[in-house]
Amino acid sequence: MNIPPYNKRPDMGRLREIVRVMGKYHFGNILEAIGLKNRLFESLKLYIKSPEEIHEPAPVRLRLVLEELGTTFIKLGQVLSTRADLVGREIADELAKLQDEAPPFPFRDVRRVIESELGMPLEDIFSEFQEEPVASASIGQVHRARLKSGEAVAVKVQRPGIAATVKSDIILMKYLAKLANDRIPGLEYYNLPGIVAEFERAIRKELDYHQEANNAERFRAMFLDDETVYAPYVYREYSTSRVLTMEYVEGVKLTEILESDIKFNARTIAERGARCYFKQIFIHGFFHADPHPGNILVQKGNVLCFLDFGMMGHLDRSFRDKLAELFILLMNYDVNGIVNQLRYMNILTEDTDLEEVKYDIMDLLDRYYGADVKKVGEILTEFTMPEMIMKHRIRIPRDFVLLARVMSMAEDLGERLDPRFNGLEVAWEMTYSLMRKRLNPLRNLDEVPSALIELEHIMNDLPRGMIRALQRLEEGKLKMELEHRNLDEISRRIERSTNRISVAMLVSALIIGSSLVAIPKEALILQKFPFLGLFGFAVSFLIALALIISIIKSRKMT
């Protein structure tokens, strides 16, 4: 999806709609701050609810604004719900309630999209196709069908025109983000244009069903040998960027289990869910980033089946190893170890006061530690709050924030299934197992091929790099960039000190010379009196006096 940059002209009709909805929910102060209450909107009659009609706090009103503005803004809210480090815990929790639901679009449009994408009539692909969707969202809807070969499938079809709507809204978001970033003091820290750019990447992936198919296949391969976790099979020959055909899976959604008296082994489900998530995070570094109960089915035998692979998180091997170490330190209440580990993970910066952050971590752990610790996800989420980030000048990797949110959601889900369940028992077992494997000397053999490749690159590049550097040095084209701070002031001070040392040396020389001349045997004596020696002493005295006065004045000035 090619989304134009923010400097393209925004849709003024849509902009008026945004202003109307924001005014309706009493966000007029924001409109005024970014300069949208100008003559262009004076004639726009806003329906603004009276204070008596609105009793909800700002986070709730923000959610209502996004819901009313539709698809793109709902998706933006869902992305921001994973960034508590930017919007704060209260807003993130409220935005997590956004439901991506929309009225279904007509079957004739479904047929047109499928036949256009797959290049053949619907009847030549499916022996059965239910016209009523089993689920309908803002980007697409899902229909149950049966292939000619007999397999039951779920066909996800993208809503017609949704890509164009998203493009238009992205242009508006970039326009508004730049206005707010330029005109509201203090917002530079949040980098609103950067947030919109991150959202653009996320929704670009969600609009491309090829990406979701790749995610589903990778997840399925991860748990192919695990009888407790399942992922549907993707029928690639019947999938495109706008149509996704997957195996239809029978099961009961976790939402139904939580809200009804359906008999399942809740403790088994909670334990398997915890093992599944820790395996995704620590072993594979590829995890399902939306563990909403509606995205997880429970099949016979308490088998967990994951759905909707549009949002996934990624962690590289080095970060996973450090994360496992951090978990062990958290569970052991090792504050000094936690601080050091956060430094190794490049989360603490040079500007961080290590003593201050240590005391804040102690306070944070004390809030959660007791007879039974269950909330590591909560601890990580608290650490990624804006207050901590700004106070200690720490930098949080995006996937670390996403990981904290996912773990927190998984912990809450496990607790709702079984209040007695403690997922950290699973985490403890798995992280220690990973650490034992990591300390195994044979583990390093896996890294030999990549190390040899890197060594080969260095051996190939080093001679060429040295030759280029020598050529530039010979030609006088070698450039060096130095960053200096307050060097002018340092130079002035060095110059003053050097001058004073020079004058002091001169005075010393004059004194010594005058002393020698004043000796009767060596002096030029006029009537037996060493006038030349006394003259040298007088000059030395005056220069020394001037030097002392200069030093006193410079101290007063500084």
Binned at pLDDT 50, 70 and 90, residue 426 comes out as confident
Number of neighbours of residue 298 by Cβ within 10 angstroms: 23
Q: What is the pLDDT of residue 142?
A: 95
Candidates 78, 197, 214; CA nearest to 139 is 78
The pLDDT of 454-466, averaged and rounded, is: 67
What does the block give as tokens for 250? 């029978």
pLDDT tens by residue, 4-24: 444 467 778 888 888 888 888
The pLDDT > 90 percentage for the chain reads 21
pLDDT tens by residue, 105-141: 999 999 999 999 999 999 999 999 999 999 888 889 9
Q: Is the pTM of this model over 0.85?
A: no
Distance CA 125, CA 74 (A): 34
Binned at pLDDT 50, 70 and 90, residue 378 comes out as confident
Candidates 153, 120, 340; CA nearest to 235 is 153
pLDDT exceeds cutoff 50 at 43? no
The pLDDT > 70 percentage for the chain reads 72
pLDDT exceeds cutoff 60 at 368? yes
The ranges assigned to domains in the chain are: 12-100+166-198, 103-158+208-249, 313-443, 494-557
Residues 6 or more apart whose Cβ sits within 8 Å of residue 205: 211, 212, 310
Given a contact cutoff of 8 angstroms between Cβ atoms, the answer to whether 79 and 313 are in contact is no
Distance CA 158, CA 210 (A): 12
Candidates 332, 334, 552, 287; CA nearest to 424 is 332
pLDDT tens by residue, 63-118: 999 988 988 898 888 888 877 777 777 888 888 888 767 789 999 999 999 999 99
Given a contact cutoff of 8 angstroms between Cβ atoms, the answer to whether 379 and 364 are in contact is yes
Q: Which amino acid is at 21?
A: V
pLDDT tens by residue, 301-342: 899 999 989 888 888 888 888 888 888 888 788 889 989 988
Distance CA 303, CA 297 (A): 8
Q: Which amino acid is at 190?
A: Y
pLDDT tens by residue, 342-364: 888 888 888 888 888 898 888 88
Query: Greater confidence, 175 or 500?
Result: 175
HEC sequence for 278-331: HHHHHHHCEEECCCCHHHEEEECCCEEEECCCCCEEECCHHHHHHHHHHHHHHH
CATH 3.30.200.20 fits 103-158+208-249, yes or no: yes
Sort strands 303-306 and 229-230 into parallel, antiparallel or unpaired: parallel
pLDDT exceeds cutoff 80 at 453? no
pLDDT tens by residue, 433-446: 766 666 665 555 55
Q: What is the pLDDT of residue 536?
A: 64
Binned at pLDDT 50, 70 and 90, residue 532 comes out as low
Q: What is the pLDDT of residue 239?
A: 96
What does the block give as tokens for 492? 């002035």
- Judged on CB neighbours under 10 Å (0-12, 13-18, 19+), 235 is middle
Given a contact cutoff of 8 angstroms between Cβ atoms, the answer to whether 140 and 159 are in contact is yes
Q: What is the pLDDT of residue 452?
A: 58
The region that residue 399 occupies, defined by phi over 0 for left and psi between -120 and 50 for alpha, beta otherwise, is alpha
Sort strands 243-247 and 152-158 into parallel, antiparallel or unpaired: antiparallel
Query: Greater confidence, 38 or 360?
Result: 360
Matching residue, tokens 């010979």: 474
E strand residue ranges, 168-265: 229-230, 243-247, 252-253
Residues 6 or more apart whose Cβ sits within 8 Å of residue 391: 356, 360
Distance CA 331, CA 517 (A): 83
The residue count of the chain comes to 558
pLDDT tens by residue, 209-233: 999 999 999 999 999 999 999 999 9
pLDDT exceeds cutoff 80 at 279? yes
Active site positions, annotated: 290
Matching residue, tokens 């077992």: 429
Alpha-carbon dihedral of residues 428, 432, 433, 434, nearest 10 degrees? Answer: 110
pLDDT exceeds cutoff 50 at 203? yes
Given a contact cutoff of 8 angstroms between Cβ atoms, the answer to whether 459 and 465 are in contact is no
Per DSSP, the three-state class of 146 is strand
